[in-house]
Structure 1
């Protein structure tokens, strides 16, 4: 026999959907106020979250890729001929006349391993290439000045051609430079 609480779940879920729709139509309930959405000056409208920043263009900075030479062990694959014993079995007969025959053969193969043979030099990347833009009055807040943002090369070129303190808006890759 089914538990009564299991049988009531669809009805309760339907009631909750209707209740949530009604509260949403009335400009939001208490749950929306706690999360910061709905109500307020927007007339029940909350704008979607965007990662774009806007502000006044201050400066740009291009940091080229930085590399360094390093050395590491040069590993070489070395193989030696080797042998191993392989066990074979065969069964024949049935009932009381069942018989198992076992024999061994020697199999040749190459046993390989890596061995250090000197050293090799390589180029490692210490810092990737970066394009950065510095903004004042970030997102309309005068106290947020001189903030650096990492941007794409296309955004860097676009912003670099503008006058100082021109209004710009872009989507940064990261904060800082």
Structure 2
């Protein structure tokens, strides 16, 4: 297993969980751009393995992607969305943390099943970042419409908040 990839995934998950559990302003950038960048980097990592040519690898990647998106959407249903200081905020709940735990266990089980059907471990390792990005996209697909339904604007970018605060 690529230690750098595993550490990157762990750091991103812990960072997101802590910040979002405490509650933070919701920006469109955080909801869409960052998950897209993670997903794109994950696709790049998978492509670098030069091993994705067998049915088992493609099946594992496809099923892993579907599980990531669906799991993110499920997780998004547990996120609290509210208006504070005139902008949309969001906050993870204990249920969100429980869903994270379940999704991590599901990912481990999916990886074990993929290896059992003949998928290559390097492909599965490389797909960790892709799965994380897709999971955040699934979450955003549920949280975004709920945020827009509040009628409040998304939070401005940090630079815009500083300038407006002067």
More strand per residue = 1
The two structures have a TM-score, normalised by structure 1, of 0.18
More helix per residue = 2
The two structures have a TM-score, normalised by structure 2, of 0.19
| Bigger CA radius of gyration | 1
